[in-house]
Structure formats: structure tokens, C-alpha cells
Chains A and B, each alone.
Chain A
Amino acid sequence: MAKETEIICIMCPLACRVTVTIDDEGTITGVANYLCKEGQKYAMAECKFPGRILTTTVLTEGSLRKLLPVRTDRPVPKEQLMESMRYLSEIKVKPPIKMGQIIASNIIGTGVDLVASDDLPV
């Protein structure tokens, strides 16, 4: 049985509700209800890999600032966001840290790295 999924396109304020049809093998067999190519592309990508850049903070030690803002370098699968957060709650970092520095590699086996999104001076 083919399955239909509705994806709200975020490429423009029109917010098309795009219908994507997926067959039993997980192959996309149809895309409908979009008004431009961007919408078609977005809906297909979102069906294949619904990933999000995770932005959060980690605790610091030995700094006047309590938290360091961090981000993933690539999207994390949507359903693994909460598990990633639980894992990252254990992390503590010490200064000095430069923006872009890797804070944790391959978080919960996603292959995604966590990087500092700001400097943490001493």
C-alpha cells in the first residue's frame, strides 16, 4: 500500500501543503500540491531525511559564563533530537574555547559533530 504524507513547505510564506506518496519500498512515487520547484524539492528532501540543525547550550566549568551555545555541524535526524539533548546534558566544557571548535564528535552515533557557536574566554 502506498502511503501519503503531507509536508508543509517552508521555502516561502505561501506554505504549500505538499502531498508526497511513498510506496512499500520507501521510494517516492509522487509529489503533488506544490506551486513551484522549490516546494517539490523541499518536500522530497524532507521525506527522505527529516533532519534539523540542533542548537542548544552546554554547561561550563571555570568560566564567568554559565553556558556555552553550541550547534551541530550537520542536521540530526528529527526523531533523535531528544536523545541527543539527554546525551549533551552530561557535557561540561572548560575555557578557552573558540567558535567553531568541536565540543563532541559523532554524538549518539549520528556521525554529527557538536561545535561551539561562540567563543568562551577564560
Chain B
Amino acid sequence: MVTQDIDVAVIGAGPAGLAAAIKAKEAGAEKVTIIERAEQPGGLLHQCIHNGFGLAYFNEDLTGPEYARRFIEKATDLKIDMQLESMVLDLTAAKNITVSSKKGLRTLHVKAVVLAMGCREKTRQQIMIPGTRPAGIFTAGTAQRYVNVEGYIPGKKIVILGSGDVGMIMARRLTLEGAKVEAVVEILPYIGGLIRNEVQCVHDFNIPLFLEHTVTEIFGLKRIEAVTIAKVDKNQEPITGTEKTIECDTLLTSVGLIPENELSLKAGIELDPITGGPFVNDMMETSIPGIFAGGNVVHVNDLVDNVTLESEVAGACAAGYAMGKVPPTKRKIGLKAGKNIRYIVPHTIGTEKEVTLSMRVREPAEKVKLRVGDILTKSLRVVKPSEMLKVNLTLEQLSKIEDRTNEVEVSCEKRG
């Protein structure tokens, strides 16, 4: 057992962890350590070889590896300690971190923690498709790793269930590599990912897109041989008589992501059942003082740029906590998800720190007015659950929150 004198320990070296560590160091924390289980920093960005990253943060169109490289180089320049091939097995509320690596088992006692574990894909098991259990069923992200990192094509005739961004990106990637994508099947009446991916990954390659459809059965003993798809009604129940069988040797699932919070639960951090991530305040601090969180571990983002920005707040505030420079919060105002708002991050705000609210709507809607209590209204032409909404609250706007208010409602209603 070894104890080290660490100011800020960051768990995970993906985009969230890198951004948090860099900001913590820049904010003055002396000893910043990132603990990462993989052999290299960068997280999932290594397998996301497509472009479209960095448009918001750098105003440049970068690929995943290019986006990662910028932060890896910066972290190296700042001499941030990077413990690779090191897996965190336990985290306690007292901020003791148990790490397993080739060196053995160690326990670090640290002043502040940033959780940056990202998220994981939902699997076939979590969506319960009936049928046999043959080989050839992968999550889209696993297939992405096979194709882009390991150099294997998972199959030649592919059906993709779900139209999340990774699913659509894999439809294009597999087509470019010579496979035939027979169908992208989406249970909702609209795609789950970004419009640019629908156009550039699905339409560009004339891949059949089945909206309001789902996979109702899987066939094949050793290897998947076919799936049955069917149209669904308003309650997402398959409609009898609309079934259609598609031959395939591979089924990819792109059916959603879940924040990875096993360690957070071990530490006793309170999780929001809607986001699947910790409840956080405007410093991205969880229910345990000194443990902060940023990126997809808090809520699933659609753009890495937002992961970076949010984790920078977590990193800077973790540094402040470690150095004992956090001003005591005078007020804690809860944000309530009102009409057509599914969730808001952070969950609580104060009035002395500018804050960016990230939120998602429940249903697509056009010509709406987004309202944050009495302090801000914003007209929007269109909102969709797949595209995160962001608004900044300035100190001036925050000062308008009345003294006795302890909850502000955020809503998104039709205009006029």
C-alpha cells in the first residue's frame, strides 16, 4: 500500500479526463494525476476516425485521433502525471482510490477527484430482442473498434438496429470497406443521431432507413443468418402483418449509451435516475464534496466539444477545492425540468458563478420558447431529443433570481 500526495486525481484519460486534468493544472493544482486503464490516453477518440470533431471548440473540422492528440500533447507539455494500464477498483467518500496495475495494488489518498469514466453502450440483452443467440451480434462501438483499430470486418451483410450516431457512422464505414448494409432500423419516427450523419452516412450511400421499425426476431444457430423487422405502432409494439425478413451475417446495435458509474456508486455518490449520472452543482461537484465529474459520466453528450467544455469546469473547480480556494456557496437553487424538458445539467446553480446549462427535450417540437424561470427566454426554431440544448446564464441574469427562490423551472413551450 502506497499513499501519494496528489492534489487532483482524474479517473479516465478520454476527452473528459484530459480536459479536466489540463484545466486543473492550469488553475494551479500542483500534482495532477490521470489514472487510465488503457495503454494510451485518448479514450474512444482513437477508434472514431471520422471527422466532425472540434467544430465548436477549435472552429476546425478534426478527426477523433486529431482531436485527442491536441489534448494529449498539451497534457504532456504540462507534465501531467499519466498512470496508464491502471484500473481504479475502488473509490471511497474519503477520496481513497484503489488502483490495480502491473506494479500491484495501491491506494492513493487524494485531495480532489474528477470522475471521467465516460459511458458504455447498451447491449442486445438490455433491449431484449427475442430469438436465438448466435454469433455476429455486436454493439456498433465494438464493430467500430474491430474495423478501425484491430483491422477486422465483422461481416459482409449487415443490419443496424438503432440510428444513433455510432450506428450511422458504422453504416458508412462498413459500406466503404466493402460490406453491404441492408438496413438501418429505428423504432422512433425520427433518427437518433445528428442530421449530418443521416445525410452523409445513410443517404449518401443509399442505405435503406426504416423509421418506426424494430427487429422482432433473430435467426441462426452458430452465426446470425437473418432478422425479422416489423413496423411499430405508437406504443412501439410491432404491427402484425408488417414483418419482413432480411438475410444478414451481422447485426449491430446502436441503441443508446449509459453513463459508467460503478465507481460513483461505490463511493456513495447520488445518481440522477434520468441521466444515469451523478447529481452535480454549477461546479460539476457531485453529492460528495471534493468529488467532481465531467462529460459522458454525467450525461451522454452528442458532441465531444461539449464534453471538453464541461470537464474543464470540473477540472478547474477540483483544483480550487484541492487548494482550499472554493468560496462557500451562499445559495443553492435547484433547476426543475418543466414542460418538454427531460433533464438539465447541472442540477443546481448558485448566483455567484456564470454557468452553462445543458439540457435535452422529451419530444421534437418546432417554434418553441425556452424559458429559464423569469431570467431568460430564447426562441428556437426546432428542438429534438437527439440534439442537446445549451444556454449560458450570466452573472447579471443570475442576479435577477429573487432572494427567496430556491427552485427555477426550465421549460420549452410552443410559441404564440
Contacts and interface: CB of A to CB of B under 8 A. Distances in A.
Contacts of A119: 69
Contact of A69 (B49, B196, B204): B49
Interface size class of chain B, counting residues whose CB lies under 8 Å from the partner chain: 20 to 34
A75 to B, nearest CB: 10
B199 interface: yes
Between A35, A55, A57, A59, the greatest number of chain B beta carbons within 10 A of the residue's beta carbon is seen for A55
A99 B66 contact: yes
Interface in B372-392: 381-384, 386-387
A49 B151 CA distance: 32
Interface in B300-340: none
Interface stretch (A24-32, A78-86, A106-114): A78-86
Interface in A46-81: 52-57, 59, 65-67, 69, 71, 78, 81
B250 to A, nearest CB: 19
A48 B69 CA distance: 34
A57 B204 CA distance: 20
B65 A117 contact: yes
A55 B172 CA distance: 10
- Which interface residue of A15, A35, A52, A119 has the most chain B CB atoms within 10 A? A15
B148 A67 contact: yes
Interface in B164-198: 176-178, 194-196, 198
A117 B176 contact: no
B63 interface: yes
Contacts of A81: 176
Nearest to A71: B63
Interface residues of A, number: 27
Given A10-B195, A10-B196, A57 B69 contact: no
B61 interface: yes
A10 B176 contact: no
B204 A55 contact: no
Contact of B63 (A15, A69, A85): A69
B189 to A, nearest CB: 14
A12 B194 CA distance: 9
Contacts of B151: 57, 59, 66-67
A69 B145 CA distance: 12
Nearest to A85: B176
Contacts of B366: 14
Interface in B33-60: 46, 49-51
Nearest to B61: A53
Nearest to A66: B151
B73 to A, nearest CB: 10
A119 B65 CA distance: 9
B105 interface: no
Nearest to A50: B204
A90 to B, nearest CB: 14
A81 B204 CA distance: 10
B65 A67 contact: no
B399 interface: no
A8 B203 contact: yes
Contacts of A23: none
Contact of A56 (B49, B65, B196, B384): B49
A99 B51 CA distance: 14
A69 B150 contact: no
A96 interface: no
Contact of A14 (B148, B150, B198, B382): B382
24 contacts: A8-B199, A10-B195, A10-B196, A12-B381, A12-B382, A15-B195, A53-B51, A54-B176, A55-B63, A56-B176, A56-B177, A57-B148, A69-B46, A69-B64, A71-B49, A71-B51, A71-B63, A78-B204, A81-B176, A85-B176, A85-B177, A117-B49, A117-B65, A118-B65
Given A8-B199, A66-B150, 19 more contacts: A8-B195, A8-B198, A13-B194, A13-B386, A14-B366, A15-B195, A52-B200, A56-B49, A56-B176, A56-B177, A59-B151, A67-B151, A69-B46, A69-B63, A69-B148, A82-B176, A117-B63, A117-B65, A118-B66
The 6 closest A-B pairs by CB, nearest first: A118-B65, A69-B49, A10-B196, A66-B151, A117-B63, A14-B382
